Structure formats: structure tokens, C-alpha cells
Chains A and B, each alone.
Chain A
């Protein structure tokens, strides 16, 4: 039993719904109680889909238990087939139905439904949403894809984009564009907009492009094994990664790595002098492993940031994330406990967070700007405009998105110069934001970013950020004038100043921080 307040991932059947909802001509019959129908709103409200997800729930009730819940399942399955006439059906159980052990797959098999019925086994008490999507897509592919003649010209399948994905809709267009430049044709894109009939044609492609390994890697491995199709490992998010992706695809397909860079603006935007202020910005990265790994490289190599912490919530991808963290000299945070992430961010006191909607809230609370780089995301991260993360345009979009929450170059200096101007002060937030600027949570206190427990009670303060929990002797005390000076430092760098000063003082064996200590530390860390 584990106490959870907010979750990064839903249950595995929600992953299955994301696959089903992305596809056309597929129906999902889900053995589940009525409350589980809440999941429809994820698609119709958050993603603004104009159709109901193709899911029929049995919505059995308490009084049906011990009666004929299996009968209810069969009836529902038959009704769903008759009404929707899908090309294929997936069947499965939610957490509650898993406990009553009706075996939807076995039941459906006895029913003579004239289209393929694909049973799903998604262990609700062990696994989560991303497992559900990956496994569901794999089962569909396994059931429907068959060996067949390859297309004469080089073609690939694009695998992984699905419903409720972070910018999947637009990433598809970018990836198609990259392939088009190389003269590679597209056989099938799946699950997004694919029909079961399309899945049967996967075998005609020469290779597979895996856009999101967390949703499609198992299927891609299966296709490699059974149909001999190699698949790509590079995720084209960021300038460097996109170059690498093109090289990888070209190599797999035996074509020229042709690219059209005419619309790629990110490198110049990053080199131009206005961007100097980005140098060494301390960022904290959290999200799904795919996006965090890509973002870490962009942050360091393409933005000139300093990555001060990174982590992911999907344990399935802990290994590559650990390897990456090692390169960065960091200890990775692998957890799906939101409170742990909040604590880690508070401790690292970054100048910016790149995360999910959860980190956006953490940022709001701690007064740290945040840009969203990964699912789970909310309604405002499904923009009307074209806004990919992948490919050349994706690199441009990411540049803009990441600098948006920050205070801009000269503005930063002005804030520092006139820091007591009553109108033009840092707590008003970046001037291009209007009313919605992030606010520091704790402008007056000695610890600008005081972590809170779920209770809202502040944690003991002051604390030192490094090493074991502070005990009586090594607690750092800020003297009044130093504290006052610290408060004059703009909030977006105050965390860094405080942290550096405390570290400096601790290294010097000091237990008190005076005004002098503050400025000595500043000189020490000057870059």
C-alpha cells in the first residue's frame, strides 16, 4: 500500500485507451465499473477530441457481483460490435474487474465475433499507463501484422504517436518531413489515425521509425524479430539529435542523409548575443525518460544551460536515464512520487524547471519558472497552433518555449540595478507575461524556496542543501544584514546565491553568514 496524492501515470488500461482512441476502426470493450468512465474526459476535454473514445464499459454494479458479471461482459461486447462494427476489438479488465477474474479475453473468444478480438492482460496492481500503451500496441501488432512483400522503394513505418501524447500530432508531421527530404516513403503511421487494416500492412515497410519508445518499443522489437525490420533508436528532439536521426535513418535505409535546413533557426537564435544571458542557467529536468534525455542534451549543448538535476517517472527507462545522469555527473531521480520531486527541486534551487504539468505546479509554489517538456500535460499544452518538439521546427519551438518563462537579458540587469524600484521589481515577474507571472512563494523568508510537506507546514529551516540532514552543530545561521541583502537579489537568482553562499560558508567551516560571507562567496563563484 502506498499513499499517493498526484500521479504521473494513470492505470494501464488508460494506456490501452490512448492507443484505441488514437486509432480508427478499433473498439475497446473494457470490463469496469461506472466510475472508470471518467477516463473519457481525458480525451474529450484535455485533448479536445470531438469524438468519444471508442470504448464501451460494462459498468457492472455491486449487485451484479456474484451474479453474472461474465454475462454482462458478453452482452456488452456483442452490443458494442453490433453498434460500432469495428475492424477489430480489444478486450480487457480495469483494476476492479481484474479482481473478479471473469477473463474477458476467454469470454470474447467463445462469442463468434467475426473480426479479430485481441485480449489484453494489463496487471493493474503492478504496472502503469505507459506499460499499458506499449503492451496494447504490441498485442495489436502481434495479432494483425503479417509478413508480406516489401515495397519496391524504401519506405518506413512511423511507430508510437498516440492520443493524449505531448505534441504527438505535430511531431508526426516533422518526422514525415525529415523522411521526405531523404526520399523515403511512409508505409503506415501507427497507432495515430491507423486502422487495424493498416496494421496488417506494416510488413511492407523496410524499417520502423520509433518516435516514442515508451509506447512502441516492444512492438518494434517484435517486428524486428518476426519481420526483420530494423528500427531507429535516436529520438529527433533537438538540433544535434535530429542530425543524428537523419544519419541513422539514412544508414538503415541505405539512402543519402539529405536535409533541408532552411527553416532551422535555433542555432543562430542561440548564438546571437541576446542569448548570452542564458549562459549557465541552472535547470532541473523531470518527465518521461525520452523527453528528459533529449532535453538534457539540448540544455547543455544547444542552450548553454547547466543541468543541476534530472529524473524520470517511468522506471522502465531508468537504465538509459542513469547512464545519461552519469555523463552529467548527477544522481538521477527515478520516482513517481510527486513530493519527492518537489523536495529534490527545492534542494537543487534551479533557476528554471523543465518538466510536466506537475512540475509546473511545483514551480508555481516555489517561485521558479517552468517550461513543459513532457507528458502528463494539461489542456493548455494541446495548442491550436503547430508546435512540434521533433525535427528542425521542433528545435525552434523548444528554444522559444524554454526562454519564454525567463526574464530576458537586459531586463535581468535592470532588475538588478534598480532593485528597489517599487514598480519595476523582480516579484512582478518577466515583463512579457502580464498577469500570469510566476510568483516567489516566500519572498520575505530567509529561505527563498522553502519546501513544504503535504501538510503545508514548512520544513525545518534554515537547512543546508548538501550532505546529511542538518543537526544542531552544522545549522547555518544568516545574520540580519546578510539576510536583508539576500532579499535584494532578484528572486530568479536568489536560490543560487543562497545555495552558493551556504556551500561556501560550510566549506570554510563557518556557522554564521554575514554580509561579508555573502560577497566573498559571490567573488568565489564568479564566472
Chain B
């Protein structure tokens, strides 16, 4: 079976990393609740935090999901800060009230925030206690989505990692796919692998707690997202083995990801080609069309979603772009190593952030496209730079073959728009 053509001399894996420490302009891990609560249909996310946390969730949701939100914030008040015993009692009361109103809830996540962590409110203990109170109907777990411990997509990692210890044990040889993707994309992945004869395939997180996958020494797993380091570590601790691969963005990423799994399961070359040939060809064609506006253009990634390195690989190798700087909030080579291997040395790889200094670099480089958070996009546009908001990459189906063209399209649209608009006088 072909292995990926390694880039001959010098890749980004060994490039020096520019580590920065200063103001970060990134959401905290609470944000993950916005998509996680849609994915897990019998789960409720109860943030124990402040009015700021509630306001963040509301603002990050952008389009508020007013229909049945399965999340809320237990806002700490002056009285809760006075004595710890109080806060636990209050929490028990709020949870009891919530669960009686929502009998459909089977999993409750107590989500820690900066305030709850600074006052050392022990949510692990609270979760244990509440599990006992509400067993067997509801299982209560806890994780931190706080801004002092997590950035943006790291919240999903923390959430999934919190579920690992309570997964049932199994000795079955199973493939576990890890990461909360839109159903349509998840179905595509499962269907491709099933056609190769791989199975049983389980997904973490499952849509309902009753369908939670088992885990054991014969489990192998592959991450769907590049920000699931803690989850991967927790799964490894339970005896499962990780399949490393570049992430399934674009035709190449998807093929390499599928191939790594196919190899693990001893799928022969013919079968692999038979299953992937048609969607590969479609993906190549779609990317070729959608990336026309991207060829030869430069791109600068501000650190945001943790998808930056795999996306830079896709945009440089499949869309013909040139990366100037690839920033990620943190770099976990155990996850993004295979993607770094494929990016030729050249771009600055940066970790952490000092937003004002990074903006100085953006202004000096004047990239054709800057990937950044919502707070920075309009100000940069006003300076004549073209931008794409990172958050859309997490909210849109972009993985695997059939979305490869859409993924390229997300980046080319702002560039096309700029060239379409003609707002000057004709003269």
C-alpha cells in the first residue's frame, strides 16, 4: 500500500516554535457546549459560573438557539461566595429542580468555570454526590471549560475525557471514532469504513448515553479532531490504542486518515481503492473548482480553533496557498505531528499569543487571507485585509471527501467577495 510521500527536506515538525505569552484573544472552553449539546441529545450542560459565563454562551452562540437549549448557567451570587457548604447545597437544589423539569435528561455535565475554580468549588465531589442521588436515571459528570484552564475547542476535549472513565469495558476488537462531528459527516465516515469491511465502529460521544461505546485492550481509536489530546490520553490509559494520521480535511487528509485505519484492519489495496476512488475523484474536482481563487495566495492563521495546522496542510498542499504564519493556542505534536510532517518548512509556527504583536506581524505581512476570531475580523477588514472567522470552521461540516470542496469554499468566499464588490464611483 502506498505510504504518504514524505516531504524530502525539512518539514514543519522540526521547525522552531515561536512561543508567545501575552494577551490571548480566544474563547474559553465553555464555548464547546454550543455544539456538544446538540450532539448529545440526552445531555444537559450546567455551567457553574458567573454572569460573564452565561453571557459568553449567549454571545458565542451568535444565532441563539432558543428552541430548547440543553444548557444553562448556575450563576454564583454573593451568598455562594461566602461559604462553601452553601454553594454545594444550592447546587443540589438547582440540579434537582432542573432534572425534575427535564425528565428526558440522562447525563448531566457540571461544567467548571474560572470563578468556580478560583473559589475551589469541588465539582468532582458534587458530581459523585449527585450521581448517587439521581442514580440510576441520571449520571452526573464534571469537567472544566474555564478560561484559566482551557481554550475554545479544548472544552470538547475536556468533556469527552470526562466520559472515558465511565465507559463500559469490552474485550471486543472495535474501532472507536472520537470527536463530535455533524451527523452527516459522521455517517459518511462510518459508511466509508464499513464498505471496507471495518467494524464494529463506535463513536464517542454517542448521541445518547445508552449507546456509549465500550472500551478495552482491543479497542483502537482514531481522533476526528486535532484538539482531543486529553481524551486520547484517557482512552490510552484504559488500554485502547490510537491510530495516528493526518486529520481528514480535504482529499489528501481524508485518504491518509482512512488509509491508516485500513492498514490497522488489514484492508487490501483493491478494496481501499474501490471504496475511495469515486469520492476521492469527486473531492479532487470540488477542491480544484473551489480553490481557484486561493492559488498563489498567502494565508495567516491567528490561534483560535486548534484546527490551524491541519487546515494549513490542506490549504498549502491541496489549494496552492502559501502559509505565512500558523498559530495555534497550543501544539500537541502527538496529534498534529503527521500534519506537520507534510508541511514544508517555511511558515512561522507559533504557539500561544500576544495579540497586539501578532497583529503587527499581520500588518507587516499583509496576507491575502487572515484566519481569526470574531473580535478581530471586522477591524482587520477595515484595514483592507481579507479575513475568515475561525468559529465557522467548527460549526460547519468540513471533514471528509464530500465536504472538501465546501471547506475550500469557506476560504475562497471572502476572497471572491472582495473581488466582486465594486463600491467605488465608476469614473
Give residues in A with beta carbon < 8 Å to B.
1-7, 9-11, 13-14, 33-42, 44-45, 48-52, 56-62, 64-65, 76, 79, 83, 94-96, 99-100, 123-126, 128, 361, 364-365, 453-456
Which residues of the other chain, A, contact B54 by a CB distance below 8 angstroms? 4, 6-7
Extra contacts besides A37-B373, A79-B22 (6): CB < 8 Å: A1-B93, A37-B25, A44-B378, A45-B375, A58-B23, A124-B50
- Report A345 CB to chain B, min CB distance, Å: 14
State whether A37 touches B114 (Cβ < 8 A): no
A33 to B28, CA, bound (A): 9
Interface centre among A7, A41, A64 (most CB of B within 10 A): A41
State whether B375 touches A37 (Cβ < 8 A): yes
- Considering the complex of A and B, which 7 residue pairs feature the smallest CB-CB distances, nearest first? A35-B28, A35-B147, A40-B375, A50-B382, A33-B147, A96-B114, A95-B50
8 Å CB contact of B59 from A2, A38, A365: A38
Judged by a CB distance under 8 angstroms, whether B74 is at the interface is yes
Give residues in B with beta carbon < 8 Å to A.
22-31, 46, 48, 50-52, 54-56, 58-60, 62, 64, 66-69, 71-78, 80-81, 87, 90-91, 93-94, 97-98, 101-104, 114-115, 117-119, 146-149, 151, 356, 373-379, 381-382
A96 to B69, CA, bound (A): 25
State whether B55 touches A65 (Cβ < 8 A): no
Which residues of the other chain, A, contact B104 by a CB distance below 8 angstroms? 455
Which residues of the other chain, B, contact A361 by a CB distance below 8 angstroms? 64, 66
State whether A51 touches B382 (Cβ < 8 A): yes
8 Å CB contact of B114 from A33, A44, A51: A33
Take A1-B90, A96-B114, A96-B148 as given contacts and tell me if A128 and B51 are in contact as well, using a CB distance cutoff of 8 Å: yes
State whether A37 touches B26 (Cβ < 8 A): yes
Which residues of the other chain, A, contact B119 by a CB distance below 8 angstroms? 99
Take A33-B146, A33-B148, A35-B28 as given contacts and tell me if A125 and B378 are in contact as well, using a CB distance cutoff of 8 Å: no
- Report A145 CB to chain B, min CB distance, Å: 30
Which residues of the other chain, B, contact A38 by a CB distance below 8 angstroms? 27-28, 31, 55-56, 59-60, 375
- Report A1 CB to chain B, min CB distance, Å: 4
State whether A455 touches B23 (Cβ < 8 A): no
- 14 A–B pairs (Cβ distance < 8 Å), ordered by A: A1-B80, A5-B72, A6-B58, A6-B66, A34-B147, A35-B27, A35-B56, A37-B26, A41-B373, A45-B374, A56-B23, A61-B148, A361-B64, A454-B102
Which residues of the other chain, A, contact B93 by a CB distance below 8 angstroms? 1
Take A3-B97, A6-B58 as given contacts and tell me if A60 and B382 are in contact as well, using a CB distance cutoff of 8 Å: no
- Report B142 CB to chain A, min CB distance, Å: 16
Which residues of the other chain, A, contact B73 by a CB distance below 8 angstroms? 3-5
Take A96-B118, A99-B118, A125-B76 as given contacts and tell me if A35 and B30 are in contact as well, using a CB distance cutoff of 8 Å: yes
Take A1-B90, A11-B52, A50-B379 as given contacts and tell me if A59 and B72 are in contact as well, using a CB distance cutoff of 8 Å: no
Take A62-B149, A83-B356 as given contacts and tell me if A37 and B24 are in contact as well, using a CB distance cutoff of 8 Å: yes
Which residues of the other chain, A, contact B102 by a CB distance below 8 angstroms? 454-455
Which residues of the other chain, A, contact B29 by a CB distance below 8 angstroms? 35
State whether A11 touches B146 (Cβ < 8 A): no
State whether B118 touches A100 (Cβ < 8 A): yes
Which residues of the other chain, A, contact B31 by a CB distance below 8 angstroms? 35, 38
A96 to B149, CA, bound (A): 13
Which residues of the other chain, A, contact B76 by a CB distance below 8 angstroms? 1, 125
Which residues of the other chain, B, contact A3 by a CB distance below 8 angstroms? 46, 72-75, 94, 97-98
